[in-house]
Amino acid sequence: AQSVTQLGSHVSVSEGALVLLRCNYSSSVPPYLFWYVQYPNQGLQLLLKYTSAATLVKGINGFEAEFKKSETSFHLTKPSAHMSDAAEYFCAVIFAGGTSYGKLTFGQGTILTVHP
Amino acid sequence: KAGVTQTPRYLIKTRGQQVTLSCSPISGHRSVSWYQQTPGQGLQFLFEYFSETQRNKGNFPGRFSGRQFSNSRSEMNVSTLELGDSALYLCASSLGWGQRNSPLHFGNGTRLTVT
């Protein structure tokens, strides 16, 4: 079955430290991949997307993600965490084929805490 | 350009009642999707509309329904509310159906509480 998994429901880092949020998908065909961020009492904001062009994707707020087909992964990174990065992050996938065009499948989310 | 607008932001309903939530997409966007977000189940796809037609449907009971109007605005309806329907309902719009590289833009959601 096609699925997306985020490893770690909570990640805690110090301000200025590297942020690494993990996302793996299960699919025989590379899907379209997205990272979204959600701040309290708000909707989801798109951070970046992978659509089969460059494997290293740069997004907003200094985030980037690398698509690795061999590892079926799309991990999100940021070199230096800022207090304002504290939020919940979701990896999302549109799987190829069928009528799944508009259907995003989300990971369970990772809550990022940034300590001063 | 205005973002996706959802109304109302908060709703409190009683079990057995029905509720209608509204979504106005970004201007020019013709596809609208709905998602339910709960602490236990996370984000789950409800349905997607394009050109006033439902193009895709998630695994929800028939009590959940929706529609899209000619101006692309959308509504979703939940009848015979249950306690488990308490959730944040998110609407998202995109340029068009079939454009998988056109990302979804989300509204701030409607927080529904069923008592």
Q: pLDDT category, A81, cuts 50, 70, 90?
A: very high
Is the model's pLDDT at A89 over the cut of 60?
yes
Cross-chain residue pair A103–B58, CB shorter than 8 Å:
yes
- Which residues in chain B have Cβ-Cβ distances shorter than 8 Å to A46? 103-105
- From the list B100, B101, B108, the residue facing A42 with the nearest CB is B108
What is the rounded distance in angstroms from the CA atom of residue A23 to the CA atom of residue A72? 9
Asked if B108's CB is within 8 angstroms of A101's CB, the reply is no
CA distance B14 to B101: 40
Q: Which residue has the higher pLDDT, B21 or A29?
A: B21
B15: buried, middle or exposed (CB in 10 Å: 19+, 13-18, 0-12)? exposed
Taking an 8 Å cut-off on Cβ atoms, the answer to whether B42 and A109 are in contact is: yes
Task: Report pLDDT for A96.
Answer: 72
One pLDDT digit (tens) per residue for chain B, 115 residues: 789 999 999 999 999 999 999 999 999 999 999 999 999 999 999 999 998 999 889 999 999 999 999 999 999 999 999 999 999 999 999 887 655 667 889 999 999 999 9
